[in-house]
Amino acid sequence: MEHTDEAALTLMALGDPPSPDVTQHLLACSRCRQELQALRRVAAHMRAPSPTDGDLLEPPADLWDAIADELNLSTPDAERTAAPGTPPFSLRSRDAIAPGRRRRLARFTIGLAACAALLGAAAGSAVTWWATQSTTAAPSAEEGNRLRSLQANSAGYASLSDSDGHRTLEITVKGLPSTAGYFEVWLMDRTHTKLISMGVLGPDGHATLPVPGNVDLREYSEVDVSVQPYNGKPDHSGDSVVRGPYAG
């Protein structure tokens, strides 16, 4: 099962109507429904009214003076030449803009936090890829092409070799999730709708699997590893760990 794109879920959370295909997918996929609900909560928070001044903390009394000094907004000469009875520039400015500054600061802080949360949720796949890159050693040339990680902390590598007409798919997956089932290796086409089961990963996350000579590798150009339950059903579970084109 191909999950709904994170960008599409984000647009739906912001009010865009889903396509009929996405609607059908959400009815069957709890994972995508949960992601959409989380994004909608973030969007609702972004639309919430700004807090009142009473909800905000008063900044230190010398905050504006420190900012003004840093930016050269007031000088002793300017204060000495002010009209008689007029407070110094730093005091006038601080008293005049403090309420507006607090409101703007509150709105900016809340908006920034909400946007960060929204972008973090929408970029789930990118964050997973970055974390995997950071925690997994770089593959050697023998390990093959890096596959796309579909579950946190997982990384896969696959390559195809052809020796005297005997084709072999070699695949290694690191950071496999816990399961009471097993991990099955598939060849699939670019649309991810046509699949051929190749075999299972070993306990160490590695497998070397023969590829029948009558399989058209121009069509079946990608490899997928799925988590399969022991339920006697031969179909793909829809729960993939890694996927992507293999080397070779």
In a domain, 185, yes or no: yes
H-assigned helices in 58-211: 63-71, 76-80, 89-122, 124-135
pLDDT at 53: 52
Q: What is the pLDDT of residues 192-230, one digit of tens each?
A: 999 999 999 998 999 999 999 999 999 999 999 999 999
Are residues 150 and 200 located together in one domain of the fold?
yes
DSSP 5: P
In a domain, 124, yes or no: no
How many angstroms separate the Cα of 113 from the Cα of each of 51, 100, 117? 14, 20, 6
pLDDT at residue 154 greater than cutoff 90: yes
Angstrom distance (rounded) from CA 52 to CA 187: 58
Angstrom distance (rounded) from CA 44 to CA 40: 6
pLDDT at 175: 93
Whether 136 and 226 have beta carbons less than 8 Å apart is answered as no
In a domain, 40, yes or no: yes
Are residues 176 and 204 located together in one domain of the fold?
yes
pLDDT at residue 44 greater than cutoff 60: yes
pLDDT at residue 144 greater than cutoff 60: yes
Task: Kindly state the average pLDDT of the residues 7-33.
Answer: 78
Task: Kindly state the average pLDDT of the residues 37-65.
Answer: 66
- What's the pLDDT band for 123 if we cut at 50, 70, 90? very low
What type of residue is 52?
A: T
| Count of structural domains within the chain | 3
228: CATH: 2.60.40
Q: Which of 64, 84, 119 is the last residue of a domain?
A: 119
pLDDT at 91: 45
Are residues 23 and 103 located together in one domain of the fold?
no
Task: Kindly state the average pLDDT of the residues 134-155.
Answer: 70
Angstrom distance (rounded) from CA 103 to CA 50: 8
Task: Kindly state the average pLDDT of the residues 32-50.
Answer: 71
In a domain, 127, yes or no: no
Containing domain of residue 182, as a range? Answer: 143-245
Residue 20 main-chain phi, psi, to 5 deg: -55, -35
What token pair was written down for 159?
């390559």
pTM, entire model:
0.44
Are residues 39 and 11 located together in one domain of the fold?
yes
Q: What is the pLDDT of residues 53-112, one digit of tens each?
A: 555 566 676 777 777 777 766 554 544 455 555 555 444 445 544 555 555 545 544 454
pLDDT at 245: 94
Higher-scoring residue by pLDDT: 242, 35: 242
Are residues 158 and 235 located together in one domain of the fold?
yes
Are residues 178 and 225 located together in one domain of the fold?
yes
Are residues 44 and 102 located together in one domain of the fold?
no
Whether 4 and 26 have beta carbons less than 8 Å apart is answered as yes
pLDDT at residue 135 greater than cutoff 60: no
Least confident of 113-122, 163-172, 184-193: 113-122
In a domain, 130, yes or no: no
Mean pLDDT score of the chain: 74
Are residues 227 and 152 located together in one domain of the fold?
yes
pLDDT at 73: 67
Are residues 239 and 152 located together in one domain of the fold?
yes
Are residues 42 and 68 located together in one domain of the fold?
no
Are residues 70 and 39 located together in one domain of the fold?
no
In a domain, 97, yes or no: yes
- What's the pLDDT band for 16 if we cut at 50, 70, 90? confident
pLDDT at 186: 96
In a domain, 135, yes or no: no
How many angstroms separate the Cα of 147 from the Cα of each of 9, 31, 88, 122, 144? 23, 21, 65, 21, 9
Instruction: Give the chain's radius of gyration (CA, Å).
Output: 29
DSSP 175: S
In a domain, 220, yes or no: yes
pLDDT at 201: 94
Are residues 165 and 223 located together in one domain of the fold?
yes
pLDDT at 55: 55
Angstrom distance (rounded) from CA 131 to CA 153: 7
pLDDT at 167: 93
Q: Which distant-in-sequence residues (6+ apart) come within 8 Å of 175 by Cβ?
A: 132, 136, 153, 154, 155
